[in-house]
Amino acid sequence: MPFNNESGKQAGKISRRGRALPMDLRIGLHELVNKIINDLDYESLNAPQKIKLLDVALKYSLPRLSIEKSIEEPESPREIKITVIGSDGKEKIQSTPLDENFSVKKAFGFE
């Protein structure tokens, strides 16, 4: 069967990718995980088991921290540099500060 517009639609209907678990199943899994974690005797674990538990726990907790991290605004540019290459191959660099007096004519050296 060739893959085209119609077969793609049919494949999308069959696929389960992208569908979330039902809410009652998610709640049940969450309760089960909490019960298992509360029943663990951490003091009886040996070092490799503790490291494995830490590894698994961090895989689920660190991505949330990176999403919650505030995104800083990038610093605005302070100047604009324009390089004009003449027909003779010589470069002329015009540097203009980006302030309240900025103009395109000034940036290109026409002012």
DSSP 8-state code for residue 42: G
Report the distance separating Cα 8 and Cα 45, nearest Å: 50
- E strand or H helix at 84: strand 79-85
Where do we find the tokens 């990038």? 74
Q: Report how far residue 20's alpha carbon sits from residue 89's, in angstroms, rounded to the nearest whole number.
A: 60
**Are residues 91 and 84 in contact, defined by beta-carbon separation less than 8 angstroms?**
yes
Whether pLDDT at 72 is above 80: no
Q: Would you say 14 and 20 are in contact if contact means Cβ atoms under 8 Å apart?
A: no
Q: In this predicted model, what pLDDT tens digit does every residue of 6-65 receive, in sequence order?
A: 777 776 666 666 567 788 888 888 888 888 888 888 889 899 998 898 888 877 766 655
